[in-house]
Amino acid sequence: QQQVKQSPQSLIVQKGGISIINCAYENTAFDYFPWYQQFPGKGPALLIAIRPDVSEKKEGRFTISFNKSAKQFSLHIMDSQPGDSATYFCAADTSGNTPLVFGKGTRLSVIA
């Protein structure tokens, strides 16, 4: 049973456009929702994270939107650049040093 569903599987965006990746979760005990960026041959790097007490968090060109009632959250990448081309994973966690539950990932390609 997949606890975090991520879509789309792949995404192609024009340079300067907005990239949007969506995730949905089932476990209402989740209280931490990070997004990770992974380049080929590298480990995932934390991009931005949100907790359910806020509906939106913005860091530079990256924004997380969170809808607690719908159990959904999304990553928006504004002014997408070719350097943003990578695989993005959403994840969820409960408090207490437990392993993250990952989505299946989205391969983003930003083309000039």
Cis amide prior to 34 (ω within 30 degrees): no
Strand order in the sheet with 56-59: 4-7, 19-25, 72-77, 62-67, 56-59
Q: Should residue 43 be labelled a site residue for other proteins when binding is judged by CB under 8 A?
A: yes
Candidates 12, 18, 29, 46; binder of other proteins (CB under 8 A) is 46
Member of 34, 63, 73, 84 binding other proteins (CB under 8 A): 34
Around Cβ 4, how many Cβ atoms within 10 Å? 21
Say which amino acid occupies 110: V
Q: Which of 1, 70, 83, 99 binds other proteins (CB under 8 A)?
A: 99
44 binds other proteins (CB under 8 A): yes
- Give the interface segment with other proteins, choosing from 19-27, 52-60, 61-69, 101-109 (CB under 8 A): 101-109
Tell the smallest beta-carbon distance from residue 61 to other proteins (Å): 19
- CB-based contact 67:55 (threshold 8 Å): yes
* Closest to 109 in 3D by CA, of 83, 78, 75, 77: 83
Q: Which residue has the tokens 């991520």?
A: 6
- Positions 54 through 93 that interact with other proteins (CB under 8 A): 89, 93
Contacting residues toward other proteins, per CB under 8 A: 34, 36, 41-46, 49, 89, 93, 97, 99-100, 102-105, 107
